[in-house]
Every structure is written in structure tokens, then in C-alpha cells.
Structure 1
Amino acid sequence: MVELRAGCERDRICPEGDLWAAQCDDARRPARFAERLHESLYQIDRRELAEVSVTLANGVQLPQTSDHFLYARCACILAGEEVYDEVLNSGVGFDRFVAPFVPLALLLVLPASCSYYIANYNNRLPTPLDGTWDVTAGAFQPEGLPGPVERVYFEHNRAYQVVLRSEHTWRRHHFEVDPAASTITIWRTWLSKGEQLLSGRYVLTGDRLAITATDTTSGRPLLWELRKRATSEIGSSEN
């Protein structure tokens, strides 16, 4: 899409597209999903549409940075080349398209856009613990698991996400580490955090991870030892 709208052939260098890609790849720069989407759509759209004022059917002005506005633009693009050119040929045409169909555009594009963003951008916050680990010692059993955690997936396709597995039950939680201080904290709910489940320090030595922490739900100390699974092990078996 970026290649098409920047007027570049697939095998040619596109400076604007490269700039956008570089900005999106900058995982350390905090930005809302709407801001990143606005950046990419600004590169894709005709530049003169950057200041288009859209008025909804109820007379409310829709700001360019509104999520509704951004998803409506996504809907225009996903509708195909012919519709895109017709709708985005002028600010008036865009206004006519967006005003009545913003709720529909939001319903159609929001789930796909958010899923794509989370899977492809929001997970680009690497930590030293990323990977799949087998528990070799220590019993940590948060509420909702049938037994102690047997396998741990740090950042399994999602930033700040840790998945804890016991038998055939998986539970997704939020985790954060401070590599400089070698500290780790796990909360109950991914992204929104909620109740704290574990807090402590870790020592990483090759494929071995030792976590000395407090199980904050019970108040008991925990020594948790894990071994990182090799790529060949992950591919051959998840049992």
C-alpha cells in the first residue's frame, strides 16, 4: 500500500516509505496506535487531504486524529483502488463517504487494524527473557491454573505479555523487566496490569533463568528456576 501510494514501483527505493517504516520500527518511541496509523495514512493519502475537515451527520466536527476518522480512511483504502480514488478525489467526496459510514468503518477496520498493530509493532519491545521456558524448580500457581506453572512464554507475539501454562490451561498476564536492575514483575491482566502476582529479581545465565521473588498473592517467597527451550524443541513439541 505504501509503495502504491508513494508512486514507487515494488523494486524501486521509496524515500517516503522508508521514512515511515523507520518511524514505525522505532519501538523505543512511545506513541499511541492512532498516531502511528495517522503517520502511515498521511504517507498513503494525497497530501492535500491532511487538513480536510469532516462533519458528521449530527453536525459534529471530526478531528483528523480521531480514531473514527483514521479507521474511516482505512476503510477507504481497503475498499479498493476504484473506490479509494473516487472517495479521496476531493475533500467533499471524502466528507460524503465518512460522515454516514464512520460507525460501519469502525466496526470493519478496528479489529483488524488493532490486531495487526499489536502483532507487528507492539511486540517490538525486546527483553532479555523473550522466549519459551520450561519450569525446572519452584511452584508458582496463580489463580485460574489447575496446578503449578509448567511452561512460560515471555513476549509470545505480544509486548509485555507473559503466558503461563499448566497442563492444558494457559493464562495471559502482564510482565515488565528492568534489565539494568535485573528485576521482574508480573501482573494479572495484560496491559492494564491489575493485581500484582509476582515481584522480584532474576539471574539469566545462558539458557538458565533463576527468579527470586515474592508470590504477592500468598506472600510466600519463591525461587523459580527455568530452562529456555531451543527453537527445535518448540517446533517439534508443545506437549
Structure 2
Amino acid sequence: MKLIRPLLFHFLLYCATETLGVKIQSVPGVNSEGVIQTELEKTVSLVCQSDGDHESQADEELVWKRNGAAISLTEENKKGHSSVCVTPIIYEDNGATFTCHLSKNATVTASVTLNVTLEEEAVLVLQCDIWANPPVFSVSWKLNGSTVDLLAGGFSVTNDGLTSRLTAKKMKKSLHEGTYQCTAESPIYGGHSKQFIVAVTEKTLKVPLMPMIAGLVVVCLTALLAIASRWDKITKCCK
């Protein structure tokens, strides 16, 4: 009996450990550092499920958060298996951390972070929410600590009182990569800033595969038809 109790204790401990766990699966996949690489206008699908025995999974209620803020879920999307879809991907999703945890135990958690990459010649749009009462009296944009050079970088800034947008129509790695900072100054609340880290990759040459295949098929068929039409002459020459 002395040998059975420790074994039974370890078995129960193992079951409890298996039940109290969550894991996140994603499309596209997540790397070993918990980062999902994606691009603008793409879709990221996240699925969280309790990682334990099958019977307990169906009863575990799950909670999703984005950067610490709760995501609203339907009741049928909470128990044991919960999905979140991020579409279309915008640049504000860059660096966003999605966390899933058990409702009854927030320490049992799993998380992934989005990394949105931009190609050269893509359109860059950065946005700051600046609504305040009383209104802010100034909004400034900086790139790598210096005031954004609108002319040199081909930037434009718009401000509708609610948001301030910094736009560049054709990005270049040498001009647009770096850390951006938007700062809004309020007469009551002082200055508040938001940062964006923009990584630009070199534009890849995308070869249109289907037109190439179609062209090769046409060339091959033309050659075969030419051979077939002159087959008699070819056979006579070979005799």
C-alpha cells in the first residue's frame, strides 16, 4: 500500500497538469518565438483550445485578449475551443499580442504576436487617435527621433480632429524604415505618444506562373502540329 499511494498521487498530478493548459494554433503558423509573420491585407486565423483530456476540454471556458483588452466572443465560441480571425491585416496589427487563457485561471495562458512585414513600393499608412476634449492643439510625427521630412520621404499628413494619418505612397527601405512616433499635445493632459516600428523588405520579383505555363503549352502544341503535318515528308527523308 505504501507503494501505491505515491504512484496514485503522481498519476493524479499528471492528469491535473494535462487538464490545466491551453495552446494556440494559427494560419499562417507561429514560429518558435511565438511570432506570426504576415503581410498587409492578409488574414490570420487563431484557434485556442484547452490542452488536456478530451472530456475536460469541452467544459473549459476560454478568454481571448488583444494587447490586454478582452475580445468579445459568442457563447458558442468560448467552451473548449475558441477561434479568432484577424482580417484584413493592417499595419496597426504589427506587434499586437493575442493571448488566450482559461476563464477560471488567468495564469494558464498562451500568446502569439503578429509581425506585419511591408515590401518596397507598398503604401504606408500610420494612424494616431487624437480625439480629446478640449481638442489637442498640436500633432507631430517623428522618424528615428527627427521630425518627419514630408518632402524628402514623399509623406502626407491628414488630420480630421479624430485621427492623424501619416501616408507614404511608395515606400523605400532607405527612406521609410525605422521607428515612427506620433505625439499629440493637449492643454490639459499634456503630451501623449504612440510608436510604430516599420520594417521594409526589398521588393521580390513575382513571376506570373500561369501565363508562362500557358505559353509553354502553346509552343509545345504548335511544334507537335508542325511535326504531324510534315510527318510523311520526315519519314521519307529518314528512309
TM over 0.5: no
Q: What's the TM-score, normalizing by structure 2?
A: 0.20
> Bigger radius of gyration, 1 or 2?
2
Which protein, 1 or 2, shows the higher relative CO under an 8 Å CA cutoff with sep ≥ 6?
2
User: Which structure shows the higher helix fraction?
Assistant: 1
Q: What's the TM-score, normalizing by structure 1?
A: 0.20
User: Which structure shows the higher strand fraction?
Assistant: 2
